[in-house]
A and B are shown apart, each in its own frame.
Chain A
Amino acid sequence: EVRLVESGGTWVQTGGSLRLSCVASGFNFSNYWMSWVRQAPGQGLEWVGRIKDRADGETTHYAAPVKGRFTISRDDSTKMLFLEMNSLRGEDAGVYYCTTETQYWGHGTLVTVSP
């Protein structure tokens, strides 16, 4: 069974930092490009960023609103994906999903940002 399980979401003050984790199982994680997608309360889905697989140099790409503040990394040996978030703003609040951008999605972890 394929599983993606996110963790690390919590309440954080504006300007603070947070690290989200995602552990994968049931599929060949190292062969997949992995992404983070977020959803603010009552809003639509927003692509945050992506890290390619080792064969593609583990290259990262980010959406404009988070570029320079967020960093995506991966550890294929433990099948984990990470999202390091700095200088957090109110508009960064929401549910963060770990996903292959295709058929595999986690259930999300909630990030709350307030003054």
Chain B
Amino acid sequence: SYELTQPPSVSVSPGQTARITCSGEALPKKFVYWYQQKSGQAPVMVIYEDNKRLSRIPERFSGSASGTMATLTISGAQVEDEADYYCYSAGISGNPSFGPGTKLNIL
């Protein structure tokens, strides 16, 4: 199956910028989606097609992609942003995969 790589955890203080990376060999050709999952809840899409954001998602969430890496940036992270974040993308063969997830700690 197609493999996406994410760091296990990222820690920032409230108000700082958090960056979560996702790497995969097909990313130059496939869109990346980012999901936020809080404990005991269903995932919520925060970024789609590399860098687009639905209107209900706070503006502090942004996405970018370059080459084989995509980045989710949370500018001015809030305590309520503490969650697991997953990247998601399709491999060259077509079947999609989720990354292993990154736990964002707001200390």
Contact: A45 with B43, CB < 8 Å? yes
Q: Mark A80-115, 1 if CB is under 8 A from B, else 0.
A: 000000000000000001010111011110000000
Contacts of B43 in A (CB 8 A): 37, 45, 97, 99, 105
B-side binding surface: helix, strand, loop or mixed? strand
> Could you say which interface size class chain A belongs to?
10 to 19
Any chain B CB within 8 A of the CB of A76?
A: no
Contact: B37 with A45, CB < 8 Å? yes
Contact: A102 with B48, CB < 8 Å? yes
CA distance A55 to B70 in the complex (A): 31
Contacts of A61 in B (CB 8 A): 94-95
Closest to B96 in A: A47
Contacts of B42 in A (CB 8 A): 97, 105-108
CA distance A44 to B84 in the complex (A): 9
Given contacts A64-B1, A97-B43, A108-B42, contact A47 B94 (CB under 8 A): no
> Could you say which interface size class chain B belongs to?
20 to 34
Contact: B98 with A103, CB < 8 Å? no
Contacts A/B (CB < 8 Å), 15 sampled = A44-B98, A45-B35, A45-B37, A45-B43, A45-B98, A45-B101, A47-B96, A61-B95, A63-B95, A97-B42, A102-B33, A103-B48, A103-B54, A107-B42, A108-B42
| Partner-A contacts on B (CB < 8 A) | 1, 33, 35, 37, 42-45, 48, 54, 84, 86, 88, 94-101
